[in-house]
Amino acid sequence: MSMRTAKEHLDTILDELKVAQRQRVPLAEAVGLVLAEDVTAAVDLPGFDNSSMDGYAVQAASLEGADREPVELRIVGELAAGVARDVEVGPGEAARIMTGAPLPAGADAVIPVEQTDGAPDGVVTCRAAVAPGQFVRRRGEDVRAGTAVAWAGNVVGPRTVALIAASGHAECVVHRRPHVLVVPTGDELVPPGEPLAPGQIHDSNSTMLQAAAVAAGATAEILPAVGDDDDALIRALDEAMGRADAIVTTGGVSMGAYDVVKSALKDKGVDFVSVAMQPGKPQGFGHVIESSTRRRVPLFALPGNPVSSYVSFEVFVRPALRRLMGLEPEVRPVHPAIVTTAMRSPAGREQFARAVVTRDAAGHLVAEPVAGQGSHFIADLSRANALLVIPAAVTTVAAGDQVEVVLLDGEVCS
Ligand SMILES: Nc1nc2c(c(=O)[nH]1)N[C@H]1C(S)=C(S)[C@@H](COP(=O)(O)OP(=O)(O)OC[C@H]3O[C@@H](n4cnc5c(N)ncnc54)[C@H](O)[C@@H]3O)O[C@H]1N2
Ligand code: MOO
């Protein structure tokens, strides 16, 4: 087995991945995805001159001096939001108007109802002058029909979908959301919630990897655990890979007598390598080919130890899924933090230790490594909110040293 750095392994993976195909989807399904085409407004925004206040549409000239001496105007009609503009306002006239209703022909301003006696019909008494254009939202002042409102490469969020919807579209073209197949392996695995026989454990990696894939923006499903049998693994993959954009297996990649993923896939396009990192040393990556369609699907063979599996997903699979989705950046940012306790790290292996990161009174990040740094400590993995990254050349870290941390849940609390 060749030995490579985590960065080299990630670069190898990213080099071999292409951004997912484009697909037209309803706006609600586009959130979190990247636009593959510019979006052009089909309509002006606002679509017509309209009122920003409940009040009366008037000619501003009719209310000259109304701030000194109230002016009476004849009510010639009423406009609610959603109605056609079938009223005309002349000098000395007013039309009762609601917020969002079209400004009637002839009117050039709106006096808010609070500055009048609020008469529903007949004559309205106005106690303020208005400037031309006051409380009028002009057609096209926000967006002109035919102009671009969102661009290929933009990540679609709630505000983008508001604009695209207002601009006249129910759908947009994005890079497809990848679907991930999570494939647990090992005769010892039992689905969560089921009773355990001697030697068995609950399959916790699958749920973890599915959740991590969904958190990264993909959809994911879990296949029934495959036993330590090469043919069973190949059959399971071939049956399901038609619906997958990426496959993540867990377990069966090290040196054991029953390491099924490695033995079944090493001649089927997957490279098994040792990565100079801890945890996560044994890794597999390559493209497997669906026998009926010859379609190539990227496959990540992650180690079975729960912490190794999680760290491998974070360091390799998450950036890869983002690449498939056309998202940047590929990796989470690193931040400086002060470590609270001394640590040792193996020579020649980059360490991704788990830590609880908080903010001190001065606002600096402080990283407390969790007690259990072995690859099987699920409780400490769950408690941690950061990976503390120790470079391969560093073997000891003293309390108070500055280290680099990757925050797993975004911001930290103090
Ligand atoms: N002789 C050697 N042994 C091992 C080496 C080595 O270099 N030489 N590497 C160790 C390292 S590092 C790792 S990491 C693991 C990787 O093991 P595998 O990927 O082959 O995984 P398994 O042997 O199938 O399982 C390891 C461990 O994880 C548990 N497991 C597996 N799947 C799940 C699951 N879905 N949910 C929860 N837990 C799971 C499994 O029961 C084992 O305890 O190899 C070391 N050994
Ligand atoms: O590399 Mo293994 O992933 O240490 O536990």
Question: Along the chain (414 residues), what's the average pLDDT of each consecutive run of 10 residues?
Answer: 86 94 96 97 98 98 97 96 88 97 97 98 98 98 98 96 98 97 96 97 98 96 95 95 96 84 95 96 96 93 98 97 89 93 96 96 96 94 96 97 93 65
Strands 109-112, 55-58: pairing kind: antiparallel
**Is 308 a pocket residue for ligand 2 (Cβ < 6 Å)?**
yes
Q: Are residues 79 and 207 in the same domain?
A: no
Give the Cα separation of 85 and 101 in Å (integer).
Answer: 8
Distance 68 CA to ligand 1 centre (A): 86
Closest CA to 224 of 194, 246, 267, 179: 194
What is residue 85's predicted lDDT score, i.e. its pLDDT? 79
Q: Judging by DSSP bridges, how do beta strands 148-150 and 3-4 pair with one another?
A: unpaired
Alpha carbons 247 and 299: distance in angstroms, whole number: 5
205 lines ligand 1 (CB under 6 A): yes
229 shares its domain with 260: yes
Q: What is the pLDDT of residue 32?
A: 94
Two tokens, residue 223: 């296949």
CA of 284 to the centre of ligand 2 (A): 13
Cβ of 252 closer than 6 Å to ligand 1, yes or no, is: yes
Q: Which of 317, 334, 327, 341 is nearest to 391 (CA)?
A: 334
Residue 413 lies in a domain: no
Of 346, 343, 351, which Cα lies nearest the Cα of 368? 343
Check pocket membership of 281 for ligand 2, CB cut-off 6 A.
yes
Count up the domains in the chain and report the number. 4
Q: What is the pLDDT of residue 409?
A: 82
Same domain, 153 and 183: no
Q: Judge if 31 and 170 occupy the same domain.
A: yes
Give me the pLDDT at residue 2, please: 53
**pTM of the full structure:** 0.90
Alpha helix ranges (H) inside 125-255? 158-166, 205-215, 230-240
Residue 195 lies in a domain: yes
Q: Are 116 and 189 in a shared domain?
A: no
Domain limit, last residue, from 325, 343, 375: 325
* pLDDT (0 to 100) of residue 1: 47
Q: Which two tokens stand for residue 24?
A: 């037209």
For residue 196, tell me if it sits in a domain.
Answer: yes
Q: Is 280 in the pocket of ligand 2 (CB under 6 A)?
A: yes
For residue 194, being part of any structural domain is answered with yes
Examine the domain organization and report whether 155 and 187 are in the same domain.
no
| 249 within ligand 1 shell (Cβ under 6 A) | no
Q: Which of 137, 166, 190 is the last residue of a domain?
A: 137
Eight-class DSSP state of 114: G
Beta bridge partners of 288: 297
CA triple 192-277-284, angle to 5 deg: 60
Measured between alpha carbons, how far is 306 from 291 in angstroms, rounded to an integer? Answer: 31
Best residue among 205, 275, 308 to mutate for probing ligand 2, ranked by most atoms within 8 Å of CB: 308
pLDDT at 330: 73
Is residue 412, in this structure, part of any structural domain at all?
no
Count of C-beta atoms within a 10 Å radius of residue 279 = 23
Specify whether 201 is located in the same domain as 307: yes
User: Do residues 204 and 275 both lie within one domain?
Assistant: yes
Task: Tell me 29's DSSP state.
Answer: H
- The Cα–Cα gap between 44 and 34 comes to 25
Range of the domain at 26: 22-45+141-175
**Per-residue pLDDT, 261:** 96
Residues 237 and 185: beta-carbon distance below 8 Å: no
